[in-house]
């Protein structure tokens, strides 16, 4: 891959993604793939004025070994130094960059129940510290190719050619062209205009229907807003883009208000395994029944992670003609696949979508209807024939999506 283009991508992640400012600390999380590109990102962070840049490398096969050999009680605990590191982050609010490249099948064959329970215990330890950071720091999730991920998408190619093909797919869908930062400025303007229109409608319900059997009604929070593209860190006022790529306009629904059934349109990578051709049925806002052709146990364990895991935390609108869908690729990676289709998320909602959230406590945000959970798992439901109808506070029905596309 052309190094000049890769440097543009690194600059996009640093300057437009997390938007590093002088004197800030940066933490980069990455697998062992593409170390040369990780160095490009580190160098770009320093050029942007970062005080210190730390890189945390991980390796999925090691995670699989830990799950296999460690006791559940060990997996579910954190050492004092690990908790102290989280406390440090809550104090200094570093920028965080997540470079995804892991094999979609990396954790195939593990004990899903053991892993899910251990991660739930760890998440509960981190949650009160993370709450101190909520909405206050800049972060960005982006991707680089891994060999096994690339071969999953391009099995007919040799590993080097598959990696090259995946690089091209990542860069093109992330708008890495002649001037990526200008391309993202224009893209953010378009998403902001759509949010402004949706927020003007005062929507109270979204009704989803598709020929695959999806028939779902979701209630919305009166004081919740639609958002998309970039957002602003609380306190610092720094504008950043948390996802590269991103095609969605989204909101957090009212906890407890979802009725009906919804069918997936793309696989979900859940706890390191692909859940394929699945469905979820809701009653009283709660996922009361799920089914899948493959790895249904991972989905069942997900909705048992805590009391909020079976409720919805997000409704996201993505046109069927998005660049990710038009690439013709199934990425087996939620960052991309969620931006190929309308999607929902089980688990945690977004408190910063409430009007006046900065003057509310976390408890007040949850009381207003934002779901609380240690998990947030997006799953794709958009199809070529999907219709979404909004019901406004005065009872009017307004088409939002027709034939999988924006109706306005």
pLDDT tops 90 at residue 250: yes
Q: How far apart are CA 257 and CA 271, in angstroms?
A: 27
Token digits for 322? Answer: 């998005």
Q: How far apart are CA 278 and CA 355, in angstroms?
A: 34
- Which sign does the torsion angle of CA 82, 364, 344, 308 carry? positive
Mean pLDDT across 391-399? 97
Residue 109 covered by a domain: yes
- The owner of tokens 């949650």 is 127
Residue 87 covered by a domain: yes
The 10s digit of each residue's pLDDT in 167-213 is 999 999 999 999 999 999 999 999 999 999 999 999 999 999 999 99
- Least Cα distance to 384 among 141, 253, 214, 267 occurs for 214
Residue 19 covered by a domain: yes
The 10s digit of each residue's pLDDT in 258-270 is 999 999 999 998 8
- Say if residue 165 is in the same domain as residue 204: no
- Say if residue 90 is in the same domain as residue 237: no
Identify the domain boundary among 173, 188, 218: 173
Identify the domain boundary among 140, 173, 206: 173
Give the domain extent around 47: 3-173
Kindly tell me the burial class for residue 227, based on how many C-beta atoms sit within 10 Å of its own C-beta (0-12, 13-18, 19 or more). buried
Q: How far apart are CA 224 and CA 355, in angstroms?
A: 6
The 10s digit of each residue's pLDDT in 332-360 is 998 999 999 999 999 999 999 999 999 99
Kindly tell me the burial class for residue 279, based on how many C-beta atoms sit within 10 Å of its own C-beta (0-12, 13-18, 19 or more). middle
- Say if residue 221 is in the same domain as residue 330: yes
- Say if residue 299 is in the same domain as residue 382: yes
Residue 34 covered by a domain: yes
Mean pLDDT across 42-54? 98
Residue 8 covered by a domain: yes
- What pLDDT score was predicted for residue 27? 98
- Say if residue 381 is in the same domain as residue 259: yes
- What pLDDT score was predicted for residue 272? 79
- Say if residue 291 is in the same domain as residue 379: yes
The mean pLDDT value of the chain amounts to 96
Residue 180 covered by a domain: no
- Say if residue 168 is in the same domain as residue 227: no
DSSP string, 45-58: HHHTT-SEEEEEEE
- Say if residue 297 is in the same domain as residue 234: yes
The 10s digit of each residue's pLDDT in 283-323 is 999 999 999 999 999 999 999 999 999 999 999 999 999 99
Identify the domain boundary among 105, 140, 173: 173
- pTM here? 0.87
Give me the number of domains the chain comprises: 2
- Say if residue 140 is in the same domain as residue 247: no
What CATH number is associated with residue 92? 3.40.1830.10
- Say if residue 152 is in the same domain as residue 260: no
- Say if residue 11 is in the same domain as residue 143: yes
- What pLDDT score was predicted for residue 273? 87
- What pLDDT score was predicted for residue 112? 87
Q: Residue 309: CB partners within 8 Å, gap ≥ 6?
A: 302, 303, 346, 347, 373, 374, 375
Residue 78 covered by a domain: yes
- Say if residue 270 is in the same domain as residue 158: no
Residue 275 β-bridge partners? 268
Residue 203 covered by a domain: yes
**Contact status, residue 98 vs residue 140, Cβ threshold 8 Å:** yes
- What pLDDT score was predicted for residue 354? 97
């Amino acid at each position: 891959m052309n190094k000049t283009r890769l440097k543009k991508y690194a600059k996009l992640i640093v300057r437009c993604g997390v938007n590093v400012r002088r004197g800030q600390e940066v933490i980069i999380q990455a697998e062992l793939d593409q170390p040369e590109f990780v160095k490009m990102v580190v160098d770009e962070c320093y050029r942007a004025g970062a005080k210190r840049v730390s890189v945390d490398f991980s390796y999925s096969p090691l995670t699989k070994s830990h799950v296999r050999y460690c006791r559940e009680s060990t997996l579910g605990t954190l050492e004092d130094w690990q908790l102290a590191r989280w406390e440090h982050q809550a104090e200094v609010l570093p920028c965080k960059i997540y470079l995804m490249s892991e094999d979609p099948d990396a954790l195939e064959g593990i004990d899903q129940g053991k892993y899910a329970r251990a991660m739930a215990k760890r998440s509960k330890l981190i949650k009160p510290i993370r709450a101190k950071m909520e909405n206050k720091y800049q972060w960005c999730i982006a991707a680089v190719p891994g060999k096994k991920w690339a071969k999953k998408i391009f099995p007919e190619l040799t590993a080097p050619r598959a990696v090259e093909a995946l690089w091209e797919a990542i860069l093109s869908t992330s708008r890495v062209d002649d001037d990526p930062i200008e391309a993202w400025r224009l893209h953010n303007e378009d998403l902001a205009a759509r949010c402004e229109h949706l927020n003007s409608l005062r929507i109270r319900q979204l009704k989803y229907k598709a020929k695959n059997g999806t028939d779902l009604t979701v209630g919305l929070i009166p004081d919740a807003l639609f958002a998309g593209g970039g957002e602003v860190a609380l306190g610092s006022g720094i504008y950043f883009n948390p996802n590269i790529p991103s095609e969605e306009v989204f909101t957090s629904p009212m906890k407890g208000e979802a009725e009906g059934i919804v069918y997936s349109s793309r696989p979900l990578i859940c706890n390191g395994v692909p859940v394929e051709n699945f469905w979820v049925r809701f009653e009283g806002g709660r996922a009361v029944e799920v089914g899948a052709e493959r790895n249904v146990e991972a989905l069942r364990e997900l909705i048992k992670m805590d009391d909020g895991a079976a409720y919805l935390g997000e409704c996201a609108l993505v046109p069927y003609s998005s660049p990710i869908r038009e690439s013709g690729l199934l990425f087996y990676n939620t960052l991309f696949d969620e931006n190929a289709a309308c999607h929902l998320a089980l688990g945690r909602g977004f408190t910063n979508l409430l009007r006046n959230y900065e003057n509310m406590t976390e408890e007040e945000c949850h009381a207003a209807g934002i779901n609380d959970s240690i998990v947030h798992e997006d799953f794709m439901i958009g199809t070529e024939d999907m219709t979404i109808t909004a019901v406004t506070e005065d009872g009017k029905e307004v088409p939002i999506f027709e034939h999988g596309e924006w109706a306005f």
